[in-house]
Amino acid sequence: MSETAQTLRARAEIDLGALRANVRALRGRVGTDVQVMGVVKADAYGHGAVPCARAALEAGATWLGTATPHEALALRAAGIDAPLLCWLWTPGGPWDEGILADLDMGVSGMWALREVTEAARRTARPARVQLKADTGLGRNGCQPADWPRLVGEALAAQARGLVKVTGVWSHFACADEPGHPSIGAQLETFHEMLTYAEKEGVDPEVRHMANSPATLTLPETYFDLVRPGIAMYGVSPGPEVGSPADFGLRPVMRLVGSVALVKDVPPGHGVSYGHHYVTEGPTTLGLVPLGYADGVPRHASGRGPVLVGGKVRTVAGRVAMDQFVVDLGGDVVEPGAQAVLFGAGDHGEPTAEDWARAADTIAYEIVTRIGSRVPRVYLNE
Ligand SMILES: Cc1ncc(COP(=O)(O)O)c(C=O)c1O
C-alpha cells in the first residue's frame, strides 16, 4: 500500500522553495563578485543531499561542498556536475575516483599531497587540489610552520603536471561568537599564508574562509567565495548571531508526526520509561510516533516542545527509541492529528533552535540527526 504524505507515521517536509530563497538571500548579501558554495555534507544537514544540491544550484550557488569524498561521488553519480570541493580525506582515498570525477580535493598535509599525486600519475590526469590552512581552528588544515613545505611540494607537483592548485582556504573556530578575538587573528593569519602561497607562485581560482556565521556577519572574510551550510537551511548558526528571520532566512525542514494514540488516564499515572512524569490529575495522553531512533534527542526528555491540537505541549517523561508522549491536559485531539516538533515557527510551532535549547545542543545537530526512518517529503520542487 502506498503512503501519501498525510498517512505517513512521520515525515520531514523539506521546502525547496525556502532553500532557494535562502540561497538567493545569501547571494544578495555577499554581492555579485563573491561566489556561493552550498555546503551539502551530512546529507545536506539531514535535508537530502541531491535535491538540496540541485535547488542550491538553481538559486545561483556555483559550487557545492561536502566533507567526505563518498558524499561528493554520490552527487556526481546523481548527475550533478557543478564544481565540487570535498575536504575530509583519509589515507587510501578514494583519490583515483575523485580525480576522475573532477572533484576539488582539500589537502591539509603532506601525506594527502603524496597520495593525490600518486593517483594523478595512475589516472594520467592532474588532480584539482585546494590547500587548506589551519589559521587557528586547530582541526584540519596545515599549520603555518608546515605551510612552506606543503606549498613548495604542491607547486613542484603542479610543475610536473600532476596537480593544479585551484584553491587556498581555511575555516573559522568562533565566527558564531561575534567579537571573538580569534576571528581577527585567524583572518590575519589567512592573509599571511595566502600572501606567502601567491608569492611562491600559487594562482588559485578561489580563496575562501567564510562559513554561515561569517557570511551573515563578517563581509571582510568573503574573499572569492563563501561556504554557507546551516544558513542555507534557514537555521541560525547560534543565538549570538541572530535568528534566521533577522537575515531574511526561512527554515527549510518541518518535522511532523501523526498522533498514534489518545487515551484518558487517571491521576498518578506514570508515563514512559522510568516514570519521570506522573499525571497530576485525570488527563489525556497523546502518543507521538517519533523517538531517538528518528533523531529526537533523548536529552530533551521532559523538555522538548511539540505543537499538538493548537497548543505547544512538552514531552512528558522520557523520549523512547520510537515514540514519546505528551500530556494533552484533557483537550480533544484525534488520533492522526499532526504533532509538529519543529518548523518555520510562524504557525505557532517550535523551531529547531527551540529543540536545541531543550536538548542543550545546537540547532545543527537537531536537523542533521533526523534519521533515515523519517521520509523526506519535498515541497516546491
Ligand atoms: C570546512 C567547512 N566549511 C563550511 C562549513 C559550513 O558551516 P556552516 O554550516 O556553519 O555554514 C562547514 C561545516 O561545518 C565546514 O566544515
User: What is the SS3 assignment for 331?
Assistant: coil
181-204: per-residue pLDDT in tens? 999 999 999 999 999 999 999 999
Ligand 1 touching residue 237 (CB < 6 A): yes
Rounded Cα–Cα distance for residues 246 and 42 (Å): 26
What is the residue whose three cell numbers read 494533552?
328
**Please, is 100 exposed, middle or buried when counting C-beta atoms within 10 Å of its C-beta (0-12, 13-18, 19+)?**
middle
Residue 45: strand, helix, or coil? helix
Residue 229 CA to ligand 1 center (angstroms) comes to 6
pLDDT tens-digit readout, 317-375: 999 999 999 999 999 999 999 999 999 999 999 999 999 999 999 999 999 999 999 99
63 beta partners: 37
So which residues are the catalytic ones?
41, 273
Domains and CATH numbers, the chain: 16-238 (3.20.20.10), 253-379 (2.40.37.10)
* Whole-number Cα distances in Å, 256 to 25, 307, 354: 27, 9, 15
- Quickly list DSSP for 129-176: EEEEB-SS--SSSB-GGGHHHHHHHHHHHHHTTSEEEEEEE---SSTT
- Of 30, 190, 211, the one to substitute when testing ligand 1's pocket (max ligand atoms within 8 A of C-beta) is 211
Ligand 1 geometric centre to CA of 49 (Å): 15
Counting every residue, how long is the chain? Answer: 381
For residue 183 the three cell numbers come to: 576571528
Best of 30, 88, 227, 364 to mutate for ligand 1, by most ligand atoms within 8 A of CB? 227
Residue nearest to atom 13 of ligand 1 (CA): 229
Q: Which atom of ligand 1 is nearest to the CA of 215?
A: 11
Distance CA 264, CA 116 (A): 64
The pLDDT value recorded for residue 6 is 67
CB 312 within 8 A of CB 341: no
pLDDT digits (tens, 9 = 90+) for 141-168: 999 999 999 999 999 999 999 999 999 9
Predicted confidence at residue 122, as pLDDT, reads 98
Is cis: bond before 350, omega within 30 of 0? no
What nine digits make up the cell of 369?
Answer: 540527526
Distance of CA 125 to the CA centre of its chain: 32
Distance between Cα 370 and ligand 1 center (Å): 19
Q: Determine which residue's CA is closest to atom 2 belonging to ligand 1.
A: 171
pLDDT of residue 68: 98
Tell me what percent of the residues of the chain surpass a pLDDT of 70.
Answer: 99
Residue whose cell numbers read 494514540: 261
For residue 261, the cross-strand partners are: 287
Beta carbons within 8 Å of 81's beta carbon, 6+ residues apart: 102
201 Rama class: left (phi>0) / alpha (psi -120 to 50) / beta: left
Residue 45 Cα: closest atom of ligand 1: 9
Contacts of 17 (CB under 8 A, 6+ apart): 379, 380
Give me the pLDDT at residue 243, please: 94
Q: In Å, how far are 57, 204, 245 from 174, measured between CA atoms?
A: 28, 26, 22
- Spatial neighbors of 357 by CB under 8 A, at least 6 apart, are none
Query: Quick one: which atom of ligand 1 is closest to the CA of 364?
Result: 9
Q: Answer yes or no: are the C-beta atoms of 324 and 295 closer than 8 Å.
A: no
The grid coordinates listed for 311 are: 497548543
Q: How far apart are CA 150 and CA 161, in angstroms?
A: 16
Q: Who contacts 245 (Cβ-Cβ below 8 Å, separation ≥6)?
A: none
What does pTM read for this prediction? 0.96
- Please tell me the predicted confidence (pLDDT) of residue 1: 43
Looking at residue 289, its pLDDT comes to 98
Q: Which three cell numbers stand for residue 340?
A: 509538529
What are the residue ranges in the chain where pLDDT is below 70? 1-3, 6
208 lines ligand 1 (CB under 6 A): no
